[in-house]
Structure 1
Amino acid sequence: MKKIGLALLTASALTSPVYAGEVSITWQTPEKYTDIRPSSETLEAFQERVMKELGEVFIDLAKKLPDDVKWEITVTDVDLAGDVRPMMRGTANDIRVIKEIYWPRMSLTYRMTDGKGVTIAEGKDDIKDMNFMMGMHIPSGHTSFEYEEKMLQDWFRKQQRDKKFPTK
């Protein structure tokens, strides 16, 4: 089931009518991620939602790449902002507690190639945002994982600013 959802997400990214870079995302063994635990839905449904919504963040980021760039991402770990705690009142739902000490993190590898297949960027990054609750951030409304979305946007912007990723 996870591979089907991922395949559809990837296919939609590759057939997008918007002129931008293409992205393909592989979610490597999400059942072993540090924290991809739900608070009020099934584990499988929550993992699917995380992969879909964060996948859409990568698709939006790829729109900032030149048209002929292909971006391959393998996500190797996710640790969502907050920590899931069991409810003590006898309900089936747990809660996710968001505090400064539970910052979002993600580990990934990536490779970017140009239209000729020449590698223009590749690497492995452990992305984190220890100040995720500081500053001003207006949620995009595209994802329910706003802290992770901001973390990825900041990381991508820094990669482009430092000339590691190409710009349009």
Structure 2
Amino acid sequence: MKKFFLALVVLGAGLLTGVAGAGEVKVTWQDPDKYADIRPGNESRDNFRAQVFKELGQVFTDLAKKLPDDVQWSVTVTDLDLAGDVRPMMRAGGNEIRIIKDIYWPRMSFNYTMTNATGQTIAEASENISDMGFMMSRPLNVGNGSFPYESRMIEDWFQKQLKSNKFPAK
């Protein structure tokens, strides 16, 4: 029953991140059980994963709006290591909390493909991004949700791709 529920959560999260089309991106979360770290603190694993997939999927969706309308972007996330580390608390109940320290920086691995209106591939790569200086970087935006360090890491990577002309700009 738990596996069925998790499958529904993952499928639902995938649908929330969008279907490939003009100004949109299709994000696939491949084998999340094998990710380095998407462990929750004080909530259920399924709910936490759904929140991760929804919020980080929305980051990709917002970035896709900066691409020309005829570009279709497909992203397959193959690994994720959230900022911080989950540790058991030293008190009754054995709850866990996520400790954010500079030695636990965010990382993400993914593959992507961009195609134009005729279906021709215009950009394709496998990426391993990280932000070792995530606690010393520019200040976080107030509205970055529950995963501000990861959101900023993805946004910074995207901006570098635009500046280096690896991605087409609007």
* Residues 7-46 of structure 1 mapped to structure 2, 5 A cutoff: 7-11=14-18, 21-46=23-48
Shift of 1:3: 3.9
SS of the residue corresponding to residue 77 of structure 2 reads strand
Percent sequence identity over matched residues? 58
Q: Which runs of 4+ in 1 moved over 3 A?
A: none
* TM-score of the pair, normalised by structure 2: 0.90
* Residues 14-163 of structure 1 mapped to structure 2, 5 A cutoff: 21-163=23-165
Q: For residues 108 and 14 of structure 1, what CA distance do their matches in structure 2 show?
A: 16
Unpaired runs of 5+ residues, structure 2, are 1-7
Provide closer, same or farther for how the CA distance between residues 7 and 126 of structure 1 changes in structure 2, counting only shifts above 3 A.
Answer: closer
Q: Deviations over 1:113-142 (max 9, x none)?
A: 011111000000000000101132232514
Provide closer, same or farther for how the CA distance between residues 146 and 136 of structure 1 changes in structure 2, counting only shifts above 3 A.
Answer: same
Residue 13 of structure 2, aligned match among 6, 14, 26: 6
Provide closer, same or farther for how the CA distance between residues 154 and 7 of structure 1 changes in structure 2, counting only shifts above 3 A.
Answer: closer
Provide closer, same or farther for how the CA distance between residues 7 and 81 of structure 1 changes in structure 2, counting only shifts above 3 A.
Answer: closer
Asked if the contact 1:54–1:143 (Cα under 8 Å) also holds between the matched residues in 2, the reply is no
* TM-score of the pair, normalised by structure 1: 0.91
SS of the residue corresponding to residue 125 of structure 2 reads strand
SS of the residue corresponding to residue 95 of structure 1 reads strand
